[in-house]
Structure formats: structure tokens, C-alpha cells
Amino acid sequence: GGTIGIIGGGQLGRMLALAAAPLGYRVHVFDPHERPCAADVAADFTCAAFDDVAALERFAATCDVVTYEFENLPVGPLATIAGKLRPGTASLAIAQDRCAEKAFVEKAGGRPARWKAIDGPGDIAAAIEELGLPLVLKTRRDGYDGKGQAWLRSADDIAAAWDQLGGRPLVAEQAIAFEAEFSVVLARGADGGLAFYDSTRNTHEDGILRRSELPAGALVEGQVEQARRQAGAIAAALGHIGVLTVEFFACSDGPLVNEIAPRVHNSGHWTIEGAATSQFAQHIRAIAGLPLGSTAPRARQVVMDNLIGHDVERWPELVADPDASPHLYGKGAARPGRKMGHVTYLR
């Protein structure tokens, strides 16, 4: 037992808190919002800004170990609680800057799409020359669910893209004509031991994950071993403790790293019902120094569908379906693009 601190109070924090309870832990959530959905299922809640060092120190003093469910946190203020933080600040600092991340992935032996840092509009023409068209511009920081991205199909799109995203440091990435997308969700224990979940095939719509499914199909399955080698090397190079997710593009010539998330991940939600140990329980085990659990799947076929925005109106039908395992995050008003819940089917 003991107390686990979670920085960030969104649905990932909520599901982490729910998984900590059967392992005997109390949870203390830290978030700047007044009533984040994770606070509803936690024993304690501190409402303070992420850069409030004094509040972070008081919070950490009540916890045996502190983790985060959100990677866009200012790293500097975490220095004084770094001793209790798992995963550590290296995972956070790398994952929150797309350029630092890609350079790190390359150094660790992973293969990202070809990319170039963009610091001004003049760099975009140079990127087109170097990477070709089409390409995608992304904000280096703070992007999620496809926000902060613009596609360039011709040089005529430069001005509009700069208007949309400009003023912030960007990265240009070669557009990948992938065959499929998949993710490697792994846990790395304090002893460096790794546990991998089966890789789902992931489908995105408007930059937001729509569905994750198993089996992922022969093409993806044929690339999982190589992808695991890359993901495991990245986790080890970060000194990561906890769950780490690496998103991949399955291409005709092998897997390319899209991005990493130093945390539990939407494409791992299927593990709540679909694996012997959920990704949330696994993360708690890893950061608490417990042995990692089995990642064995519990069904041959698993489908996880997100409930995005008004999808949540399907709720009465989903709770009435005996084959469905529906989850609501308790987030209040449905807005377009907002992740309200998900539903998992095992077959």
C-alpha cells in the first residue's frame, strides 16, 4: 500500500486511479482544473497550476511515488520532486518536443519519418525541397488528437499553413503512405525488465484515434518484432519506468516511428477487459516497484471504439448490449472531438 500521486486529472488519470485501488494504493490527483474527472475517483485532490512549485512539493510530500498522465507539463518545476517521479523527467522532456523526440528516437536506433525543424516561414520551402510533397507541419509542442497540424500539398499552401500554425516552432514531416498504423504499448520495470502487449491496428479519423483492434492483421504482425526492438531500445535509452507507447506506421518496407507517449495510451484501453493485466494496473505495478503482470490477451478478437463528442449519445444502446464493455469518463458536456468514453468488445 501507500499513496500514488498522479499529475493530470483527465481520463487516463481516472483509469490509473481505478486500477491502483485493487493493488491497495490511495491516489492523490494534481490538476489545475476545478473538477477534473480523475478527482472523482481519487482519495485526495490538489487543484493548482502545474508550475506551482510549492503546491507540487506539498503534494509530493503526501505521496510515495508520483507519476503523470499528461506529457505537456513544464519540466522545470518538477525538479524538486524528481526523486519521486516515475517515469522521470527525461521521458517527459523528450516526448513533449517533437524534434527532440525524433532526434532521440534516431539515436536510440528507431526509424522516424524524414523530418526537419521549422523555425520560420523560410524554412518551409527548404523542407519541401528536402522532403518533397506532400508533407505535414506539426507544432513541436502541445499537439494532441491531431491538433496543431497542417498538410502541405503544394508550395501554394505555405502561407495558409504558416497563418494557421506560425509563430511557434514547428516540425515538417514527410507524408507517409502507410499500409496501416499500430502501436507498441510496453511496460518497463525498475529493474529494466520489459513486458509488451499485443499490438493493435489503430484507425484514426481527423487525427483522432477512432478504433484499436486485434488481431492487427498479417502485415502489422510481421512488423511487430522489429517495432518492439525499436520501442524497447527507446524505453531503455530514456531510463523509462512505467508504461511507454510508441505509435508506428506500417510501411511496405517496415515500421516507422510516428511518435512516443511516455504513458498509458488510448490504443491500450482494450487491455482493461482484453488482457490479464490492464495497462493501467501495469503502470501502477511498474512505478510502485511491484513485479509486472501478465500481458496475455483474454480473447482472440478485441475491438475498442472511442466515444468522441456526440457518439456518447449511443450510451443507452451500449449499456444494453451484453457483449459491450462501455466506459464513460464523467467529463460533462460533449463537444465535437472530445473523448467522452470508449467501448470494448471481446470475441
Q: Which residues bind ligand ATP (CB under 6 A)?
A: 113, 136, 138, 143-147, 173, 175-176, 181, 204, 207, 247, 258-259
Interface size with Mg ion, residues (CB under 5 A): 2
Q: Is 347 marked as binding a ligand?
A: no
Q: List C-alpha distances in Å: 245 to 56, 186, 342.
A: 26, 6, 19
Cβ distance to Mg ion smaller for residue 89 or 149? 149
197 marked as binding residue: no
Alpha carbon 39 to chain centroid, angstroms? 20
CB of 207 to ligand ATP, least distance (A): 4
Q: How far is the CB of 311 from ligand ATP (least distance, A)?
A: 17
Annotation-wise, does 116 bind a ligand? no
The enclosing H or E element of 189 equals none
Is 151 or 226 the residue whose CB approaches ligand ATP more closely?
151
User: Within 191-250, which residues bind Mg ion (CB under 5 A)?
Assistant: 247
Q: Which is nearer to Mg ion, 97 or 259 (CB)?
A: 259
Query: In which element (H, E) is residue 319 found?
Result: helix 315-319
Asked whether the beta carbons of 140 and 102 are under 8 A apart, the reply is: no
d(CA 185, CA 200): 9
Place of cell 519506468: 241
Nearer to ligand ATP, 76 or 207 (CB): 207
Kindly indicate which of the ranges 16-24, 26-34, 85-93, 256-264 contains the residues binding Mg ion, using the contact rule CB under 5 A. Answer: 256-264
187 is an annotated ligand-binding site residue:
no
Residue 222, marked binder: no
CB of 113 to ligand ATP, least distance (A): 5
Cis peptide before 322 (omega within 30 of 0): no
Mapped onto helix, strand or coil, the DSSP state of residue 214 is strand
Treating both helix axes as pointing N-terminal to C-terminal, what angle do 11-20 and 279-288 enclose, rounded to 10 degrees? 70
User: Is the dihedral angle over the CA atoms 251, 193, 95, 131 positive or is it negative?
Assistant: negative
CA–CA distance, 17 with 67 (Å, rounded to integer): 11
Give the residue ranges of the annotated binding site for ATP. 98, 138, 143-149, 173-176, 181, 204, 258-259
Binding site for Mg ion (CB under 5 A): 247, 259
Give the residue ranges of the annotated binding site. 98, 138, 143-149, 173-176, 181, 204, 258-259
